[in-house]
Structure 1
Amino acid sequence: MACEGFEMTLAFDYAYDSDSAEYDEMDCSDPLAMSGRCDMHEGINVEMWTHPTNSLKQVVNLIVALKRMKHFKKQSSDFGDDELLSIFMDNVIEERCVSGVQEAAHTRRVQSERTYNKSSRILQCTVCDQFQKSLVRSGGALNLKAVTLKGGNTHHKVRFNLSTYVSTSLSVTDSQPVCLEISKSNLYLACTKQNPNDNPTLVLKEVTDTLNTITTDDPNGLLFFRKETGVSVNTFESVKYPGWFISTAYDDNEEVTVCQQQDDRINSFKLNDKVIIHS
């Protein structure tokens, strides 16, 4: 079993009882030994050491002092350090695997540095929620609204270019990383925060870069995991802020934003008027 480190603790319920122990021939050089009691039976000193972690906290392991051991087996005159150590390992020491702090930190670092490369495949489409409310521009504001369009108003639907991305890592996912760009513009849907302690919000962000490569910690928050389930039901989860999904309100003409799954909003969408194009 591979572990980063080990803690050793003492776990037994007996102690030395020198009065009940028998010894054949003592070969100790002091009067105490000649009386049938060697000082190693007087107790075992407390030892303490520190185990550094990446968080600079120290784990202190304490070996509890043993004053006496009862019901100890009869030992011969050559009983020494090796035999004592063997008894400790067989009967006293419990080995417990300590979680690999360095390995966990490495995993988090790899995930935060994951890179996504843009493919040549682009899906052009319109988007509506499960109640057929279409996503439309709201004047010159940097956000979208979900509106039920009737009759000749369908031209107000926003047409998106969904650029697809592939990860350089070997991890397998059932979601497709995408960027949602408003067609014939430099405006992208972005999941971002105004302040570090705020909840994420959804805005339209102007980007002039080619966006051929995007990392997980991209400050623009342009990348979403598109997951398709059921009959063409799609969700869009922020890559930068996992657990936050593009969503609409149940009421008409309300702003499109992001929410968590347990929130009372709609986060399921259908993609209509689909056309595959290539960059």
Structure 2
Amino acid sequence: MSCNTQVSSEMANEIASEIFDYESGCPLVDEIMEIEQPWKPQCDSGLELRVSGYVRSLKQAVTLVLAVEKLKRPQRKPIGSEFSDLELLNILMEHVNEERVNLEVFPDTESFGTELSRRRSDEPHSICDTEKKSWVLNELNGLPAELTAMVLQGPNISQQVTLRLSTYIPQPQPGLGQPVVLGIGSNNLFLSCNGPDSLPALELEMVQDRDGLKTIRMGSATARFLFYKRDSGSTSSFESARFPGWFISTSRNVERVRVTMCNGRTTAGRVTDFQVSRI
């Protein structure tokens, strides 16, 4: 058998023109070129070369062009000042700055199964945001209890809630902050973060059995009560352990508005830094 189709230089030039932008003089690094073309080098062995797939990098493309050109000429050792294919490839690649970063995020399975134990329980604290708005508990008949934030002066200061803060160990990951559970007053109300991943909500839940919060396993239902207290100077922020990136916040420059969750420390119109002081 013999092959009757020969690789032409026009085909190689066509491939090169797809790889390089001659008008701008810059390699098209980010383009993906699909090649589906049977090539039959001139031979007597019946050999057929088929290249099928995607050229995903400049180095692969240049290598392919060199391979095509190599099929057109017999094997011979370069002499004198002639460059070998490998040397030519290295020269071309020296003038190309190609950088690809593959970022792979893996779930932290170790922290996901960590069991946290309560170290200190129900330490009383006062809390207000950096605009001096204190937390106030609103309990209306027939409606769920909620927290609002407002500036309190004179006799109204008594409306300020007592934040009962319980700390837990160990810290699942360095840099996350101190794991805490936040109780309100002495009526078994606890702050929790619950809801869909796209819009978790801050809630006040009644917990009749406080002993059920002695230990909290990350990834369990009770992890909704857990927050990471992160200190920065004289202020602290509280990030949900169940919904990373969501922080307890108050409304900026507006009073008597609910304390809610917001996405990010610097969300427009929200305050996420609080002054927390032991009573």
Instruction: State the Cα deviation string for residues 71-102 of structure 1 (Å, max 9, x = none).
Output: 45328xxxxxxxxxxx99xx8xxxxx99697x
In the alignment, structure 1 residue 149 sits paired with structure 2 residue 148:
no
Amino acid at match of 1:73: Q
The 3-state SS of whatever aligns with 1:252 is coil
**TM-superposed deviation, 1:197:** 6.6
2:45 aligns with: 39
**TM-superposed deviation, 1:111:** 5.8
1:112 and 1:263 map into 2 onto residues whose CA distance is 31
Aligned identity (percent) is 29
- Count of matched residue positions in the alignment of Structure 1 and Structure 2: 207
TM-score (normalised: structure 1): 0.60
1:262 aligns with: 267
Instruction: State the Cα deviation string for residues 220-259 of structure 1 (Å, max 9, x = none).
Output: 51111111112x1111111111111111112111111111
1:59 aligns with: none
Cα distance 1:125–1:168, how it changes in 2: closer, same or farther (>3 A)?
closer
The 3-state SS of whatever aligns with 2:135 is strand
The question of whether the paired residues in 1 share the 8 Å contact of 2:139 and 2:146 is answered with: no
1:244 aligns with: 246
The 3-state SS of whatever aligns with 1:39 is coil
The 3-state SS of whatever aligns with 1:271 is strand
Q: Which runs of 5+ in 2 are unaligned?
A: 1-11, 14-41, 54-63, 78-84, 90-99
The question of whether the paired residues in 1 share the 8 Å contact of 2:171 and 2:178 is answered with: no
Question: Which of the two has greater helix per residue?
Answer: 2
1:72 and 1:126 map into 2 onto residues whose CA distance is 86
The 3-state SS of whatever aligns with 2:271 is coil
1:173 and 1:114 map into 2 onto residues whose CA distance is 18
Cα distance 1:152–1:178, how it changes in 2: closer, same or farther (>3 A)?
same
The 3-state SS of whatever aligns with 2:120 is strand
2:136 aligns with: 136
2:135 and 2:216 map into 1 onto residues whose CA distance is 25
**TM-superposed deviation, 1:67:** 6.8
2:81 aligns with: none
2:112 aligns with: 113
Amino acid at match of 2:159: H
1:212 and 1:175 map into 2 onto residues whose CA distance is 19
Moved more, 113-122 or 245-254: 113-122
Match of 2:212 among 192, 198, 210: 210
TM-score (normalised: structure 2): 0.60
Cα distance 1:98–1:148, how it changes in 2: closer, same or farther (>3 A)?
closer
Amino acid at match of 2:268: D
The question of whether the paired residues in 1 share the 8 Å contact of 2:180 and 2:227 is answered with: yes
2:101 and 2:73 map into 1 onto residues whose CA distance is 33
Cα distance 1:151–1:187, how it changes in 2: closer, same or farther (>3 A)?
same
Higher relative contact order (CA 8 A, sep 6+): 1
The question of whether the paired residues in 2 share the 8 Å contact of 1:143 and 1:202 is answered with: no
2:101 and 2:273 map into 1 onto residues whose CA distance is 42
Coordinate RMSD, CA, aligned? 3.9
Match of 2:181 among 179, 185, 188: 179
The question of whether the paired residues in 1 share the 8 Å contact of 2:182 and 2:191 is answered with: yes
2:219 and 2:177 map into 1 onto residues whose CA distance is 18
The 3-state SS of whatever aligns with 1:149 is coil
